[in-house]
Structure 1
């Protein structure tokens, strides 16, 4: 996302290629900040992406010793999913929310083919629908959110994707486990979607860019800095702030 005239656009580094096409980018300045940050802190990439989707990303700097995928469902330690964490997550979900199969069946019944491109599960932990977003009825989203909430699940709409994620499946829980293992004292966070809100609230300080689901809702919190910058420039600014704090 480049919100400026072409002549002012910064040089970009591609960090993700998918099906032969460049997909995700950092500014070159952000890449330098990220490499410096990873060398001076416990840098933890934290994402709703599956492990396969996360592994498409090639960030500058040394490999991250920890990474969190599937919205906290997988804790990667030196690139491999930690089995103890997987077991703890499975037990928590079984005890606290409706099973994935029930949610998936409801989506199959209610997601209309006129505006549904794909219906997918991620890591057998949560489900999402790829939609023609402009055609999706707001009433369907509200009813789906209410239905899911009664069963211990949350809805997040991000661009063309509508996610249904178990409420006990959180990034903040996985980050707390990293803090325990790494022995860190300060947690700094950043995120832009509803699925990042618990992570932002759990940090000592956090940053929210001017784009994304949280910005669209005007969401903020006392320990969160809400930025006006959007896209790659927001990423660059957040990394500069993180590096300054570290």
Structure 2
């Protein structure tokens, strides 16, 4: 099995994006620096969970960062060292730190055959861009480019029109806060994951991501998670396999990793997958807290609950036996 996950604001966080609880009880560790400046952190619990997960599944970091930017995250170079990594929004795949040349060749051909040249595309953008709202321009591994914006001065109507034109030319125009990305259509995280699933013969996949650029990744997985703070939470998600977390910020990373471990270990016990719930999902569905669940563990019928790490995997039948039908289901039944 594969766990493919975005990094920034999914597994790793700046201090500004951590959203720590008021009691500041979360222990976290610095995982990235740049020129002596502290950049990104992970919670100690998330590191522990990801370390356990990396021993059981094939963990694949999937990021819009360039190769150089990815390698700045030292925990993935020195401690939790995945064999594969996807960088540059899917344009580059690393295996043991080396480029997958087969994938690189395919990407270059697909972009050349299906997209307007970068030169012509960016020339068109210059027709609406100026120094008042475009503060800088950067190229990512010679594959795509992005701008840093002054959000207060963006000409929204003109940018929307340009984005629609970009689609017709084989380009995605995606705004992520202060960053505006220009990415050729063949370059996406989902396509890279599909390639690795086939290469590794690992069809069953978990995924996690927070932004619009992660959507193709989440669609490729069997079970996917969006952190509650994620950009994708503003989008209507119709796919039932994509679930939001309860927690926000750095605690969402712990929740997603625990859910992946719960589902993984549950599936190895041959529990009915369609009826399988993580403890987090079960508590949410039955409107109870985790302490209530722990107190009733001995009341569950045999084979309907298992403990993994600090949490549990349960079946719907087991929950109904102990706690009855969820209140939401009761209301539905009464209204029909």
Task: Please give the TM-score of this superposition, normalised by the length of structure 2.
Answer: 0.70
**Higher alpha-carbon Rg:** 2
- Structure 1 Cα separation of the partners of residues 247 and 162 of structure 2: 32
Query: Which residues in structure 2 correspond to 1:1-246 (within 5 Å)?
Result: 1-59=17-75, 61-219=79-237, 221-246=239-264
- Structure 2 Cα separation of the partners of residues 167 and 7 of structure 1: 44
Q: Do the aligned partners of residues 137 and 9 (structure 1) sit closer, same or farther apart at CA in structure 2, a change above 3 Å counting?
A: farther
- Structure 1 Cα separation of the partners of residues 246 and 128 of structure 2: 37
- 3-state DSSP class of the match of 2:52? helix
Give the structure 1 partner of residue 276 of structure 2.
Answer: none
- 3-state DSSP class of the match of 1:8? coil
- Structure 1 Cα separation of the partners of residues 124 and 28 of structure 2: 42
- Structure 1 Cα separation of the partners of residues 86 and 20 of structure 2: 32
**8 Å Cα contact 1:120-1:127 kept in structure 2:** yes
Q: Could you tell me how far 1:13 is from its partner in structure 2?
A: 1.0
- Structure 2 Cα separation of the partners of residues 210 and 186 of structure 1: 24
**Number of matched pairs:** 246
Q: Which runs of 4+ in 1 moved over 4 A?
A: none
- Structure 1 Cα separation of the partners of residues 238 and 136 of structure 2: 32
Higher relative contact order, structure no. (Cα contacts within 8 Å, ≥ 6 residues apart): 1
CA-based RMSD: 1.6
Task: Please give the TM-score of this superposition, normalised by the length of structure 1.
Answer: 0.94
- Structure 1 Cα separation of the partners of residues 60 and 20 of structure 2: 30
Q: Could you tell me how far 1:109 is from its partner in structure 2?
A: 3.3
The one-character-per-residue Cα deviations of 1:43-84 (angstroms, maximum 9, x if unpaired) are 000011110111111236431100001111101010111111
Q: Do the aligned partners of residues 224 and 95 (structure 1) sit closer, same or farther apart at CA in structure 2, a change above 3 Å counting?
A: same
Tell me, which stretches of 5 or more residues in structure 1 are unaligned?
none
- Structure 2 Cα separation of the partners of residues 9 and 107 of structure 1: 47
**8 Å Cα contact 1:65-1:78 kept in structure 2:** yes
